[in-house]
Amino acid sequence: MMNIQFGRRHALGLAGGVALGGLASPLVARAQAAPLKIGLVALATGPAATLGTHLRDGFQLGMRHLDGKLGGRAAEVILIDDELRPDAAVTKVRAALERDKVDFVVGVVFSNILAAIMRPVTDNQTFLISTNAGPSPFAGRGCNPFFFATSYVNDQNHAVMGKAAQDAGYGRVMLLAPNYQAGRDSVAGFKSEYKGTVVDEMFTPLTQMDFSAELARIAAARPDAIFTFMPGGLGVNLVRQYRQAGLANIPFLSAFTVDEASLPAQGDAAIGFQTGTSWTPTLPNERNARFVRDFEGQYSYVPASYAAHAYDASMLLDSAIRKTGGNLADKGAMRTAIKAADFQSVRGNFAFGANHFPVQDFWLAKVVKRDDGKFQTEHVRKVYDNVTDPFAAQCRMPAA
Amino acid sequence: MSLTLLLVQGLNGLQLGILLFLIAAGLTLVFGVMDFINLAHGVQYMVGAYLAAYFAAQTGSFWAALALALPAALVVGLVLEFLVFRHLYDRDHMAQVLATFGVILILNDGVKLLFGSAPLQVPMPAALTGGVPIMDGLLYPHYRIAIIAGGLATAALLWWLVERTKVGMLIRAGATNAPMVAALGIDIRRLFMVVFGFGAMLAGFAGVMAAPILSVEPGMGDNLLILAFVVIVIGGIGSVRGAFLAALLVGLVETLGRSMMPDLMRLVLDPSAARQVGAALASMLIYIAMAAILAFRPAGLFPVRAA
């Protein structure tokens, strides 16, 4: 059945080619001039849509800086809202691949969405570039020749804080995370680098809004520091309640809990709280300064790492398409060009490892209030220098 | 676990219970008096919080925001009643559930359209920013004490309204037998409108009070709505007194369960399993409590409707 269909389509294509033979050369010329298309998967629905907004604006700023061109070729961005629903994401991404014929799929905030669209995109021999989600299976055994990530492996930010807590000499740490897979991974990631005493681990329901019961337990246990992973609204509630309960003298270490996406709602309560990250708006390099300045000028809010990693993805594509002379058909050449990562990252150091995940620095950062009253994270010290993620060793990159 | 910690957790449970009561009181009146299932009650709580955020940003004062948000929440409730709910009183429960669920979707997306999807911040009133040290190293914020006081005052006011005024008498009569009240020449539609508007304002009040300690974001009322339904079912549908006691019970069970379950589980399981099983069990606890209570008192603790 499959064969017959393929055969028919082929035959039709052949017939069309013969019939239009005389017109072939103008058609080819037009195809050259047609803009290449990027499918940008950016969440725009639900409470977490802010993260998708950061991602979208980061990529769009890159396109502005590149005058709407990637590698010298005009490029069109097709926005795809994954709705944080894997089924919706697959349907829309398939439509983008088959109807719009997108040349690259870029973006994705959440790991479950990335997992859902991974096969549909890469089976289609289309390059998929994640600018945020980095589930460890895709960095290890599930690494893929058509998949790259400009972000990190999810577990890394937690491990960074484990190492930071270890380096800071905290002997007793209390852990707090939501009771679901990513929460348990976070605790495991922290403990992989932290060698001190874990006083207690507290797991809360994902829907919990009031943390007073947990805060009382922290006060009773008096740890040297706490480590937590509370994304989105959870983090807003926890941070403000932690401050209100007068616990802020116990260092607050976190991952994905205080960042520029959540800080507008956390405000003063988050000042001094620490986080592990691959990027902050304050990283001292020229690229980054220009990115942050123009981003704020364009969109009037402080970018988070979701925006920075997406901006890097636009620069990465630009460099790769330039390297191949605009030729998208030779997938092998394109892969080599992407892997070279021949662009200036806003993070400074940036290269791809064998598993197509970044080899980069990780920072301990803390929340500060700027003179203009806005909040941002500020790098404190480098925790890892040019580090490869721990899953890369498990990757046997298949030949495409 | 020390006695102090237990007392602190009891206080935390009390405060959650009070917040739940503010939401459940309106819900139980609307459900009990009008026999109307209003799933949109949770978004009315959210609307209250957003109104507080909006007015606080405009005026710069929490108290002004409170004073402005309450009538605004009332107006939103009355407009919803006029546009949607009024046309559903005579329909069956399924139609009410569908229509009010639609209102949830519309309002959740509506606030996102107006305010964006990022959580908003409502500053705490300056006079209440401090806290009382209740145990070594832990402050109990003044604002949370204010929530408890405000909730108790509201409960007292409701008790007076329902038990001691003519409108309250009609409400109680309506909860017991609405057709009979109508037959006696009372304009039941107007009574419904008053009850509905008042219920919406109570939910809005809960939203305003919660705004400075919880993040204001789309969908913030959806989880509380489920808890509020648990409360009114345990308390007996239509009973404000039942809602009050059930809200405190649910608040205490939820908070104490969350803080003690993992420790209890540790007696029988190894620590890492105990943490996860304990956390999972703690989130089931109120539903187990509800099932247990309904097994013995099928109409709730304080049944109103004559069987």
Reported as a single tens digit per residue, the pLDDT across A301-342 is 999 999 999 999 999 999 999 999 999 999 999 999 999 999
User: What value does the mean pLDDT take over residues A175-181?
Assistant: 89
**CA–CA separation, B124 and A244 (whole Å):** 10
pLDDT of residue B305: 60
Residue A131 has pLDDT above 90, yes or no: yes
> Tokens 């580090």 label which residue?
A387
- Count other C-beta atoms under 10 Å from residue A172's C-beta: 14
Per-block average pLDDT, block size 10, for chain B (307 residues)? Answer: 83 92 90 86 94 93 94 94 89 91 93 84 86 86 92 93 89 82 86 88 94 87 90 89 93 89 83 81 90 91 68
Residue A25 has pLDDT above 60, yes or no: no
Long-range CB contacts for residues A221-224, cutoff 8 Å, separation at least 24: A221/A172, A221/A174, A222/A250, A222/B136, A222/B137, A223/A170, A223/A172, A223/A173, A223/A174, A223/A199, A223/A250, A224/A170, A224/A171, A224/A172, A224/A173, A224/A196, A224/A250, A224/A251
Confidence of residue A16 (pLDDT cuts 50, 70, 90): very low
- Token code pair at residue A129: 């570039």
**CA–CA separation, A326 and A103 (whole Å):** 12
Domain limits, chain A: 30-152+284-361, 155-277
Mean pLDDT computed over every residue of chain A:
89
pLDDT of residue A350: 95
Residue A149 has pLDDT above 60, yes or no: yes
Residue A120 has pLDDT above 70, yes or no: yes
Contact A255, A160 (CB under 8 A): yes
Contacts of A240 in chain B (CB under 8 A): 121, 213, 215
Contact A353, A392 (CB under 8 A): yes
CB–CB of B137 and A46 under 8 A?
Answer: no
The burial of B152, by beta-carbon neighbours within 10 Å (0-12 exposed, 13-18 middle, 19 or more buried), is given as middle
pLDDT of residue A27: 46
- Count other C-beta atoms under 10 Å from residue B289's C-beta: 18
Confidence of residue A219 (pLDDT cuts 50, 70, 90): very high
Contacts of A244 in chain B (CB under 8 A): 124, 131, 139, 141, 143, 213
Contacts of A232 in chain B (CB under 8 A): 119
**CA–CA separation, B208 and B212 (whole Å):** 8
Q: pLDDT of A150-170, one tens digit each?
A: 999 988 999 999 999 999 999
**CA–CA separation, A256 and A158 (whole Å):** 9
Q: pLDDT of A255-279, one tens digit each?
A: 999 999 999 889 899 999 999 999 9
Q: What is the dihedral of CA B8, B14, B18, B19, to 10 degrees?
A: 50
Which candidate in B113, B138, B255, B286 is best for mutational testing of the A interface (most A CBs within 10 A)? B138
Contacts of A237 in chain B (CB under 8 A): 213-215
Confidence of residue A12 (pLDDT cuts 50, 70, 90): very low
Burial B187-215 (b: 16+ CB within 10 A, else e): ebeebbbbbbbbbbbbbbbbbbbbbbbbb
Contacts of A261 in chain B (CB under 8 A): 118
Q: How big is the A-B interface in CB pairs under 8 Å?
A: 126
Residue A22 has pLDDT above 80, yes or no: no
pLDDT of residue B307: 41
Contact B31, B37 (CB under 8 A): yes
Query: Which residues is A252 bridged to in the sheet?
Result: A226
Contact A183, A201 (CB under 8 A): no
pTM above 0.90, yes or no: no
Residue A299 has pLDDT above 60, yes or no: yes
B103 to B41, B80, B107: CA distances (angstroms): 10, 9, 6
- Token code pair at residue B95: 């139609």
Residue A294 has pLDDT above 60, yes or no: yes
pLDDT of residue B65: 94
CB–CB of A202 and B275 under 8 A?
Answer: yes
Which candidate in B5, B134, B215 is best for mutational testing of the A interface (most A CBs within 10 A)? B215
pLDDT of residue A33: 60
A93 to A44, A86, A96, A127, A150: CA distances (angstroms): 15, 10, 5, 13, 20
- Token code pair at residue A35: 């803009």
> Tokens 């620069």 label which residue?
A315
| Intrachain domains A30-152+284-361 and A155-277 with the same fold | yes
Contact A64, A299 (CB under 8 A): no
Cα three-residue angle A232-A233-A236, rounded to 5 degrees? 100
Under DSSP, is residue A1 helix (H, G, I), strand (E, B) or coil?
coil
For A235, nearest residue in chain B (alpha carbons): B215
- Token code pair at residue B30: 């609307």
Contact A302, A265 (CB under 8 A): no
What's the CATH number for A155-277? 3.40.50.2300
CATH architecture of A30-152+284-361: 3-Layer(aba) Sandwich (3.40)
| Interface list for chain A against chain B, based on CB atoms closer than 8 Å | 46-50, 53, 179, 184, 201-205, 207, 209-210, 212-217, 219-220, 222, 232-233, 236-237, 240-241, 244-247, 249-250, 261-262, 264-267
Which of B5, B117, B283 is closest, CB to CB, to A216?
B5
> Tokens 């809990």 label which residue?
A257
- Token code pair at residue A324: 């191949």
Q: pLDDT of A54-82, one tens digit each?
A: 999 999 999 999 999 999 999 999 999 99
Q: Which of residues A45 and A212 earns the better pLDDT score? A: A212
Q: Smallest Cα–Cα separation from B212: which of B139, B137, B119, B132?
A: B119
Query: Which residues is A128 bridged to in the sheet?
Result: A105, A147
What is the SS3 assignment for chain B? CCHHHHHHHHHHHHHHHHHHHHHHHHHHHHHHHHCCCCCCHHHHHHHHHHHHHHHHHHHCCHHHHHHHHHHHHHHHHHHHHHHCHHHHCCCCHHHHHHHHHHHHHHHHHHHHHHHCCCCECCCCCHHHCCEEEEECCEEEEHHHHHHHHHHHHHHHHHHHHHHHCHHHHHHHHHHHHHHHHHHCCCCHHHHHHHHHHHHHHHHHHHHHHHCCCCCECCCHHHHHHHHHHHHHHHHCCCCHHHHHHHHHHHHHHHHHHHHHHHHHHCCCCCHHHHHHHHHHHHHHHHHHHHHHHHHHCCCCCCCCCCC
Give the contacts of B4 (CB within 8 A, at least 6 positions apart).
A220, B134, B135
Pick from A17-21, A175-179, B118-122, B164-168: least confident: A17-21
